[in-house]
Chain A
Amino acid sequence: MKRSAFACALGASLVLAALPAGADSDSITVFAAASLKEAFSAAGPAFTKATGTAVTFSFAGSDSLEQQIAQGAPADVFASANETQMRKAASAGLLGSEPKTFARNRLVIVVPKGNPAKIASAADLAKSGVKVVFAAATVPVGAYTRAGLKKLDGRPGYAADFDAAVEKNVVSNELDVKAVATKISLGEGDAGVVYQTDVAPLGASVETIAFPPDSVAEATYPIAVVKTAPDAKGAQAFVDFVLSPAGQAFLKARGFLSP
């Protein structure tokens, strides 16, 4: 008796574990770039209230999300922090709708409170001994950062190999933008590059320094329905909501620029 109860419990828990989370019809799963965490988490309840569809978020680096979707993860919506990952998803036939740009974001330099390495401008990232923390080059913010630094090469006040000098100061290539923010807010690194929208949640633990105009590109955020979406209708509703004035208000409140 006892044994069969154990077997039943084991069987039941296996079945439960194998069920995709939120498999009921009125629930969708949104795979979103780590930098969207605050804005989307705040928008989620409003979306549910407006449509009756529950929404679960999975936040990570856009590149890992794209990989997960390619491997068949049960995502309904993909919101990427750059066009590269979205294009990759599109060319792999993973999308069920045309990607639409729903937000833009600006990159800023963050330093720990008190600015221990005395960083006054982007040029100081190349000073010897500065401990720089970037996102890995495979992560959108890491790619934007490096492309932007390259644009500064040879400008007045910047050496011709400025970007290479900064790269030499990099002490860690983090897996996503939030990890960069954490390392700087803990004071482990002297300077990092994150999105403007990542700064507010850090509160007073960091200070920001702007990049020179027309250097670091603005990040563009596209969103699309995933082709294998368990709930394509709910997914499209979420995309529409994000593009609507109601959804845009949540993004604006967190510092995103409108598309």
Chain B
Amino acid sequence: MIRGAIAVASALLVAFIVLPLAGLVLHVEPRAYLAALSTVSARNALRLSLLTTTLALGLTIAFGTPLAYALARGRFPGRRVVDAIVDLPIVVPPAVAGLALLLVFGRNGTLAPVLRALGIQLSFTTAAVVMAQVFVASPFYVRAARGGFTTSDRTLEDASATLGMGPLRTFALVTVPLAAPALVGGIVLSWARALGEFGATIMFAGNLSGVSQTMPLAVYLDLEGGDVAGATALAVTLVAISLAVVIAVRAPARD
């Protein structure tokens, strides 16, 4: 009885997720697909999405790992507050996130005097795309990594320290491998969220082919212009890339 209910519920949700994506794939004719992907704007969007999500992921790992470690292991005042703040971008609507970035890093934003002195303009640049992605996507990695660091077995780290390994080597050779499944899960989620980023990007980075028009923006613009074939071709590519990465990254970590 319970087992049957579980099966029905699971099957319904899986079908609900699979059907629209399958519909997208079935909507595409092979020849139109190749033609749509060979346009300059489609290739620009593809390249830009891969470039920016890679950069965003690198920054997220570089800054998110120490933060997650501090949140999991550190005992400092305001830890709970920081913990909550880190999760905020997940619940803030992306367009609001974009506006917030604009109001701080924009040409007339809070940090404008500093940025101007340095000769930096961020809005309407590829850097802005990466910033928007880090803002909305990094919490997914930090959350997962924090969980991994919290639950991994600390006696092994202590043993490593007893055997004379320094803290950095212990971290790299013991802590990270122990938390690896969580870290990998966080990396995949965070990267996927960055790849699909739309609202914050259009608000903060604008929309220009080759500079800030990522794949989700190109899909939307194609659709707006009535180019359904172009939109579905790009959308299917986006889904295929995501699926390939998720499978490839998770395969070794799974049973």
- Which A residues are closer than 8 A to B by beta carbons? 61, 63-64, 67, 88, 112, 131, 133, 136-139, 170-175, 179, 183, 186-189
- On whether A186 and B224 interact (CB within 8 A), knowing A133-B206, A171-B124, A173-B208, the answer reads no
Interface residues in B108-143 by Cβ distance below 8 A to A read 108, 123-124
Asked whether B193 is an interface residue with its Cβ less than 8 Å from the other chain, the reply is no
In the complex, the answer to whether A136 meets B106 with C-beta atoms within 8 Å is no
Give the size range of B's interface with the partner. Answer: 20 to 34
In the complex, the answer to whether B224 meets A136 with C-beta atoms within 8 Å is yes
In the complex, the answer to whether A173 meets B207 with C-beta atoms within 8 Å is yes
Please indicate the chain B residues that have their CB under 8 angstroms from the CB of A175 in the complex: 202, 207, 220-221, 224
Q: Of A64, A67, A139, A187, which is within 8 A of B107 by CB?
A: A187
- On whether A187 and B207 interact (CB within 8 A), knowing A61-B224, A88-B226, the answer reads no
Instruction: Give Cα A182–Cα B102 distance, bound, in whole angstroms.
Output: 11
In the complex, the answer to whether B123 meets A188 with C-beta atoms within 8 Å is yes
Asked whether B223 is an interface residue with its Cβ less than 8 Å from the other chain, the reply is yes
Quick one: closest B residue to A170, CB to CB?
B208
In the complex, the answer to whether A172 meets B124 with C-beta atoms within 8 Å is yes
Asked whether B44 is an interface residue with its Cβ less than 8 Å from the other chain, the reply is no
Question: Taking the nearest CB of chain B, how far is it from the CB of A15, in angstroms?
Answer: 17
Question: Taking the nearest CB of chain A, how far is it from the CB of B194, in angstroms?
Answer: 20
Question: Taking the nearest CB of chain B, how far is it from the CB of A164, in angstroms?
Answer: 15
Quick one: closest B residue to A183, CB to CB?
B206
Instruction: Give Cα A242–Cα B213 distance, bound, in whole angstroms.
Output: 38
Asked whether B212 is an interface residue with its Cβ less than 8 Å from the other chain, the reply is yes
Question: Taking the nearest CB of chain A, how far is it from the CB of B150, in angstroms?
Answer: 31
- On whether A188 and B224 interact (CB within 8 A), knowing A136-B207, A173-B208, the answer reads no
Please indicate the chain B residues that have their CB under 8 angstroms from the CB of A61 in the complex: 224
Quick one: closest A residue to B124, CB to CB?
A171
In the complex, the answer to whether A188 meets B102 with C-beta atoms within 8 Å is yes
Quick one: closest A residue to B204, CB to CB?
A188
- On whether A186 and B102 interact (CB within 8 A), knowing A131-B124, A170-B208, A173-B208, the answer reads yes
Interface residues in B36-80 by Cβ distance below 8 A to A read none
Question: Taking the nearest CB of chain A, how far is it from the CB of B221, in angstroms?
Answer: 6
Asked whether B225 is an interface residue with its Cβ less than 8 Å from the other chain, the reply is yes
Q: Of B102, B205, B207, B224, which is within 8 A of A63 by CB?
A: B224
In the complex, the answer to whether A139 meets B207 with C-beta atoms within 8 Å is no
In the complex, the answer to whether B221 meets A138 with C-beta atoms within 8 Å is yes
**A-B contact number at CB 8 A:** 64
Please indicate the chain B residues that have their CB under 8 angstroms from the CB of A172 in the complex: 124, 205-208, 212
Please indicate the chain A residues that have their CB under 8 angstroms from the CB of B102 in the complex: 186, 188
Instruction: Give Cα A175–Cα B198 distance, bound, in whole angstroms.
Output: 12
Please indicate the chain B residues that have their CB under 8 angstroms from the CB of A131 in the complex: 124
Please indicate the chain A residues that have their CB under 8 angstroms from the CB of B213 in the complex: 173
Please indicate the chain B residues that have their CB under 8 angstroms from the CB of A188 in the complex: 102, 106-108, 123-124
Instruction: Give Cα A139–Cα B202 distance, bound, in whole angstroms.
Output: 15
Instruction: Give Cα A136–Cα B205 distance, bound, in whole angstroms.
Output: 15
Q: Interface code B97-109, partner A: CB below 8 Å = 1, 0 otherwise? A: 0000011001110
Q: What are 17 contact pairs spanning A and B, CB under 8 A?
A: A64-B223, A64-B224, A67-B226, A112-B108, A136-B207, A136-B221, A171-B206, A173-B207, A173-B221, A174-B202, A174-B206, A183-B206, A187-B106, A187-B108, A188-B107, A188-B108, A188-B124
Quick one: closest A residue to B220, CB to CB?
A175
Instruction: Give Cα A188–Cα B123 distance, bound, in whole angstroms.
Output: 7
Please indicate the chain B residues that have their CB under 8 angstroms from the CB of A64 in the complex: 223-224
Instruction: Give Cα A187–Cα B106 distance, bound, in whole angstroms.
Output: 8
In the complex, the answer to whether B124 meets A186 with C-beta atoms within 8 Å is no
Please indicate the chain B residues that have their CB under 8 angstroms from the CB of A173 in the complex: 206-208, 213, 221
In the complex, the answer to whether B207 meets A138 with C-beta atoms within 8 Å is no
Instruction: Give Cα A154–Cα B104 distance, bound, in whole angstroms.
Output: 41
Instruction: Give Cα A21–Cα B202 distance, bound, in whole angstroms.
Output: 28
Please indicate the chain B residues that have their CB under 8 angstroms from the CB of A186 in the complex: 102-103, 106-108
In the complex, the answer to whether A139 meets B208 with C-beta atoms within 8 Å is no
Please indicate the chain B residues that have their CB under 8 angstroms from the CB of A112 in the complex: 108
The 3 closest A-B pairs by CB, nearest first: A172-B206, A138-B225, A171-B124
Question: Taking the nearest CB of chain A, how far is it from the CB of B125, in angstroms?
Answer: 9
Please indicate the chain A residues that have their CB under 8 angstroms from the CB of B212 in the complex: 172
Please indicate the chain A residues that have their CB under 8 angstroms from the CB of B124 in the complex: 131, 171-172, 188-189
Instruction: Give Cα A170–Cα B107 distance, bound, in whole angstroms.
Output: 16
- On whether A63 and B225 interact (CB within 8 A), knowing A136-B207, A171-B206, A188-B124, the answer reads yes
Task: Identify 13 new A-B residue pairs, CB closer than 8 A, beyond the known A139-B224, A187-B107.
Answer: A64-B224, A67-B224, A137-B225, A138-B224, A138-B226, A170-B208, A171-B208, A172-B207, A173-B206, A173-B221, A174-B207, A186-B103, A188-B123
